Amino acid sequence: MTNTNYLIIGSGVAGLTFALRIAEQFPDKKVTIVTKANADESNTKYAQGGIAIVTDKNEDSYQKHIEDTLICGDGLCNESVVRMVVTEGPQRLKELIEWGAKFDKNSDGNLNLGKEGGHSENRVVHHKDQTGHEIERAILGQVYQKSNITVLDHHFATDLITAENYCLGAYVLDQKTQKISTYKSDITLLATGGIGILYGHTTNPAIATGDGIAMAYRANASIKEMEFIQFHPTAFYEPTTGSKFLISEAVRGFGAYLRTKNGRRFMIDYDSREELASRDIVSQSIDLELKKSGDDCVYLDCSHLDIEAFKQHFPMIYNHCLKAGIDVTKDWIPVVPAQHYICGGIVVDMDGKTSVNNLFACGECSQTGLHGANRLASNSLLEALVYSSRIFEYLSNPALKTEVPNIAIPEYNSMEKPEIDTDYLNTLKANLQQLMRQNAGIVRYETDLQNAKIQLLEWKAAIEKLGENHQLNSAYFELLNMITIGSLIVTQSIERKENKGGFVKFEAPSFK
Whether residue 101 is contained in a domain is answered as no
Spatial CA neighbour of 252 closest among 289, 283, 297, 295: 283
Note the pLDDT of residue 403. 82
Same domain? 40 vs 143: yes
Per-residue pLDDT averaged across 1-10, rounded?
96
Q: Is 494 part of a structural domain of the chain?
A: yes
pLDDT, mean over the chain: 92
Contact by Cβ (8 Å): 187, 48: no
How would residue 370 be classed by pLDDT, with cut points 50, 70 and 90? Answer: very high
Any domain includes 298: yes
Query: Both 247 and 305 in a single domain?
Result: yes
Residue 40 pLDDT = 63
Handedness of CA 365, 370, 371, 372 (dihedral sign): positive
CATH of residue 472's domain is 1.20.58.100
* Among candidate residues 338, 128, 88, 366, the one with its CA nearest the CA of residue 236: 338
Same domain assignment for residues 244 and 214: no
**DSSP 3-state of 146:** coil
Rounded CA separation 101/119 (Å): 24
User: Longest C-alpha distance within the chain, in Å?
Assistant: 68
Tens digits of residue pLDDT in 150-168: 999 999 999 999 999 999 9
- For 276-314, write each residue's pLDDT tens digit: 887 788 988 998 898 889 898 999 999 999 999 999 999
Note the pLDDT of residue 44: 60
Distance separating alpha carbons of residues 477 and 192, to the nearest angstrom: 14
Asked whether the predicted pLDDT for residue 329 surpasses 60, the reply is yes
Q: Quick check: 42 pLDDT over 80?
A: no
The pLDDT of residue 410: 78
CA dihedral of 238, 240, 245, 246, whole degrees rounded to 10 = 50
Instruction: Please tell me whether residues 491 and 474 are part of one structural domain.
Output: yes
Assign 28 a pLDDT band (cuts: 50, 70, 90): very high
pLDDT exceeds 90 at position 30: yes
Kindly report which listed range (176-180, 244-248, 321-325, 482-486) carries the lowest average pLDDT score.
244-248
Q: Examine residue 68 and state whether it is found in any structural domain, yes or no.
A: no
What residues act catalytically?
A: 279
User: Are 34 and 133 in the same domain?
Assistant: yes
The span from the CA of 420 to the CA of 435, in Å, is 23
Same domain, yes or no, for 160 and 297? no
Is 467 found in the same domain as 323? no
Residue of 316, 377, 501, 380 lying closest to 116 (CA atoms): 377
| Most trustworthy range by pLDDT among 113-117, 404-408, 418-422, 483-487 | 483-487
pLDDT for the residue numbered 41: 65
Identify whether residues 354 and 384 lie together within a single domain. yes
- One domain, residues 332 and 445: no
3-state secondary structure 181-229: EEEEEEEEEECCCCCHHHCCCECCCCCCCCHHHHHHHHCCCCEECCCCE
Q: What is the CATH number of the domain that holds 334?
A: 3.90.700.10
Q: What is the DSSP letter of 427?
A: H
pLDDT of 115 above 90: no
**Taking Cα atoms as reference points, which of 28, 27, 35 lies closest to residue 7?**
35
Write the CA distances from 210 to 260, 389, 422, integer angstroms.
34, 23, 20
Which residues touch 126 (CB under 8 Å, ≥6 apart)? 49, 50, 51, 103, 104, 112, 114, 250
| Residues 147 and 33 placed together within one structural domain of the fold | yes
Stated pTM of the model: 0.89
Residues 23 and 164 reside in one and the same domain: yes
CATH code at position 164:
3.50.50.60
Residues 83 and 230: their CA atoms lie apart, in Å, by 22
Q: What is the CA radius of gyration of the chain?
A: 22
Domain that holds residue 290: 235-338
Is 60 exceeded by the pLDDT of residue 61? yes
Domain co-membership, 200 together with 311:
no
Count structural domains, the chain: 3
Among the listed ranges 53-67, 116-130, 260-274, which one has the minimum average pLDDT value? 116-130
Q: Within a domain: residue 88?
A: no
Find all residues with CB under 8 Å of 441, minimum gap 6, and list them: 199, 231, 287
